[in-house]
Chains A and B, each alone.
Chain A
Amino acid sequence: MSKTDKIDIDYVAKLARIELTEAEKQTYSAQLGQILEYFDKLSKVDVSGVEASAHAHAMYNVWREGDVPAQPMSVEKALMNAPAKRLNQIVVPKVVDEA
């Protein structure tokens, strides 16, 4: 978390699964560098012995009773926004290579 750390924009864009243009890479690198430098304030805070808060209030896992869930969404509803569909299924580019 030091100011010398340069963000590896190609690696992070890969994690985010977003294709960036060269111009975007330059802009985002510069802006994120500036933002991360500002974030450096946090490194100076003493957090020893402080618990991390995932939520503002204590949250516990909620278990469903052993009942049958409410009416599931119909196939028609579940597919109504699909960009491509056929035979009640979403069509995607081929995932598995031929042997």
Chain B
Amino acid sequence: MSDIAFKSVKELSDMLAKGEISSVELTKVYIERTAALDGKVHAFLFKDERLALDGAEASDKRRARGETLGALDGIPVALKDVIAVENQPLTCASKMLEHYVSPYTATSVKNLQSRGAVLWGRLNMDEFAMGSSCENSAFGPTHNPWDLSRIPGGSSGGSAAAVAACFCACSLGSDTGGSIRQPASLCGVVGMKPTYGLVSRYGLAAFASSLDQIGPFARTVQDAAMLLGAVASYDPKDSTSVNTPIPDYAANLDSNWLKGKKLGLPKEYLPEGLDTQVRAAIEKSVEKCAAAGAEIVEISLPHTELAIPVYYIIATAEASSNLARYDGVRYTHRSDKAKDIVDLYYKSRAEGFGEEVKRRIILGSYVLSSGYYDAYYLRAQKVRTLIRRDFEKVFESGIDAVVAPTSPSAAFKLGEKMSDPLEMYLNDIFTINVNLAGLPGISVPCALSSEGLPIGFQIIGKPFDEQNLFSCAHSCEELFGMRGVLPNLQ
């Protein structure tokens, strides 16, 4: 049964449909594998074996009656610890919410439940999704399954590591500035951020509301397409949710998509000084796409470099407002040293938040403060318009998809960048533009470095055109030969 854990969602779904395995058997495979190996990886913050097995039993009973809720019925899915499930903990990897239990369920999760998916555990992350290495978790970092001395990326590091380590069939994460695509790249799995507004944010603990999106992690593009198709929906409970048709992405994948398509390669994404192995991997991948019939066009996204200041102004400003709710009064950690109500806010927040979260709240408060609002926040919003227009012009010129590295380097060592926040921020240069422009993006594994570490190939699509993005990624995946290449975790 051991090789079962490595299979794709599609393969497992077919096996369940044919009765070759039961959901309970499958769920036990992941429970046992996680119990044996997660001590090394630390992908999970919370596991409830009984709850997962209850879900699996219910799925098996449905099948025994000849019923099914679809392709995900009985498939174990794990969630980043930022997405609410009623009566389950939700910590955001923060001491502030260490004892919090969700009173309601996120719409994305309700969608999964209505399709019979088995909820299996909650995954580690950077505190409040702020970070690029998963080292900002208040409960200790996650380790990269490819090399345990390295970071898995972040902020959805647990979600990426759990899929790479085959502790679950697939998982959900959230992406505000690359928090799905970058860890997917560093852990050698597929990670996808949908167009802003496609997946409901109801029940997603907010970091930067104009940027946050929930999205899938999986071991194949087809699996990611299945999972997104299941969680995406119009939701009146999220005022930024967009009412748009959700096609069956997985069923409509076109594996000959590249033939005759124009792929834009932005020169700003292959800058001087880019890691030579990343550059070589991207250039080789682009050559493969060309050999499959795609036309490669050098393009320019001239405002790319400005994305770092724009993002870190907008995201921290929104975060300083969103995280004001964690005040020690209603549902968070409360300091027992407070003299009065105001002191309660100061001390509860000082005790509850970690270093990076404090840094970002302070930065966000500063850029919004009187006298600086116009110079920072308003100006950043204007440059955000310019960044979006860069992409609009490219797509209007006939480019079908933009291709680029996902991350400027493969996974770095734990602790390597913790002392320099600016250097850590610069790590997000290839992913944050996509959030600022609200576009869909996906990372597909394309190569291993000489140290045996995965390198991701990022594809950026037109808004609400997830179908073409998935078809492009699926076609690339077939060329890159990385499907089924997994870490040797023992």
Residues of A within 8 A of B (CB): 1, 7, 9, 11-13, 15-20, 24, 28, 31-32, 34-36, 38-39, 41-43, 45, 47, 50-57, 59, 61-62, 73, 77-78, 80-84, 90, 92-95
- Given A42-B376, A53-B384, A53-B388; 9 other pairs, CB 8 A cutoff: A17-B327, A31-B359, A41-B309, A45-B386, A47-B386, A51-B385, A54-B210, A56-B435, A92-B329
For B358, list chain A residues within 8 Å (CB).
16, 18, 20, 24, 28
Q: Are the C-beta atoms of A77 and B103 separated by less than 8 Å?
A: yes
Partner of A93, one of B330, B331, B340: B340
C-alpha gap A11/B236 in the complex (Å): 39
Minimum Cβ distance to chain A for residue B220 (Å): 28
The contact size tier of chain B is 35 or more
Q: Which residues from chain B sit less than 8 Å from chain A, CB to CB?
A: 99-101, 103-104, 196-197, 210, 236, 239-240, 242, 303, 305-306, 308-310, 312-313, 320, 324, 327-334, 338-347, 349-350, 353, 358-359, 361-366, 369, 372, 375-376, 378-386, 388, 421-422, 425, 435-439, 463
A41 to B375, CA, bound (A): 11
- 23 A-B pairs with CB atoms under 8 Å apart are A15-B366, A17-B342, A18-B361, A19-B346, A20-B350, A24-B358, A28-B358, A31-B421, A32-B362, A32-B366, A39-B376, A43-B375, A45-B303, A50-B382, A50-B383, A50-B385, A56-B388, A56-B439, A56-B463, A59-B240, A73-B104, A84-B334, A90-B329
Residues of B within 8 Å of A17, CB to CB, are: 324, 327, 342, 345-346, 349
Minimum Cβ distance to chain B for residue A18 (Å): 5
Q: Is the CB of B366 within 8 A of A7?
A: yes
- Cβ–Cβ contact B361 & A42, under 8 A: no
Using A81-B101, A84-B334 as known contacts, say yes or no to A19 and B347 having CB atoms under 8 A apart.
yes
| Complex Cα gap A50–B464 (Å) | 25
Contact B369 A15 (CB under 8 A): yes
Q: Which applies to chain B's interface (DSSP): helix, strand, loop or mixed? A: helix
Contacts of A31 in B (CB 8 A): 359, 421-422
Measured CA separation A51–B375 after assembly (Å): 15
Which of A7, A12, A24, A54 lies at the interface centre, i.e. has the most chain B CB atoms within 10 A of its CB? A12
Across the interface, which residues of A come within 8 angstroms of B334, CB to CB? 83-84
Contact A16 B385 (CB under 8 A): no
Q: How far is the CA of A43 from the CA of B365 in the complex (A)?
A: 19
Contact assessment for A19 and B99 in the assembled complex, using a CB-CB cutoff below 8 Å: no
Output the least CB separation between A17 and chain B (Å). Answer: 4
B330 surroundings in chain A (CB, below 8 A): 81-82, 90
**B342 neighbours in A (Cβ, 8 Å):** 17
| Contact A52–B382 (Cβ < 8 Å) | yes
Contacts of B372 in A (CB 8 A): 1
Q: Is the CB of B103 within 8 A of A80?
A: yes
- CB-CB under 8 A for A34 and B422, given A52-B381, A56-B210: yes
Rounded to whole angstroms, the CA-CA distance of A45 and B386 in the bound complex is: 10
Q: Which of A42, A45, A81 contacts B100 (CB 8 A)?
A: A81
In this complex, what residue of B is CB-closest to A49?
B382
A95 to B341, Cβ gap below 8 A? yes
**Residues of chain B lying within 8 A (CB to CB) of residue A20:** 350, 358
Q: Are A56 and B382 in contact (CB under 8 A)?
A: no
| B100 to chain A: closest residue by CB | A81
Contact, CB under 8 Å: B309 / A12? no
User: Are B438's CB and A55's CB within 8 A?
Assistant: yes
Instruction: Tell me whether B103 and A16 are in contact (CB under 8 A).
Output: no
Are B312 and A35 in contact, CB atoms less than 8 angstroms apart? Answer: yes
Min C-beta distance of A64 to chain B, whole Å: 8
Cα-based distance from A31 to B309 in the complex (angstroms): 14
Name the B residues within 8 Å of A18 (CB-CB): 346, 349-350, 353, 358, 361-362
Is B346 in contact with A12, judged by CB distance below 8 angstroms? no
Contacts of B463 in A (CB 8 A): 56-57
Report the Cα distance A42→B425, complex, angstroms.
16
CA distance A21 to B376 in the complex (A): 27
B309–A38 touching, CB < 8 Å: yes
What residues on B are CB-neighbors of A90 within 8 Å? 329-330
Contact B382 A47 (CB under 8 A): yes
A13 to B366, alpha carbons, bound, how many Å?
A: 9
Contact B341–A16 (Cβ < 8 Å) = no
Chain A residues near B329: list those with CB within 8 A.
Answer: 83, 90, 92
Which residues of B are found within 8 Å of A82, using beta-carbon distances? 330-331
- Candidate in A12, A16, A20, A42 with the most chain B CB atoms within 10 angstroms: A16
Q: Please measure, in the bound complex, the distance between the C-alpha atom of A88 and the C-alpha atom of B357, giving whole angstroms.
A: 32
Q: How far is the CA of A16 from the CA of B324 in the complex (A)?
A: 8
Query: How far is A81 from B36 in the complex, measured between Cα atoms in Å?
Result: 33
Q: Which of B306, B333, B361 contacts A41 (CB 8 A)?
A: B306
Q: What A residues does B364 contact at CB under 8 A? A: 16
In chain A, what residue has the closest Cβ to B364?
A16
Q: Complex formed: what's the CA distance from A15 to B378 in Å?
A: 19
What residues of chain B lie closer than 8 Å to A81, measured between beta carbons?
99-101, 103, 330-332
Kindly state the separation between the CA atoms of A1 and B362 in the bound complex, as whole angstroms: 17
Report chain A residues within 8 Å CB of B313.
Answer: 39, 42
Q: In the docked arrangement, what's the CA distance between A41 and B379, Å? A: 11
Min distance, Cβ A16 to any Cβ of chain B, angstroms = 4
In the bound complex, what is the Cα–Cα distance between A1 and B374 (angstroms)? Answer: 10
- A42 near B309 with CB under 8 A, answer yes
Across the interface, which residues of B come within 8 angstroms of A7, CB to CB?
366
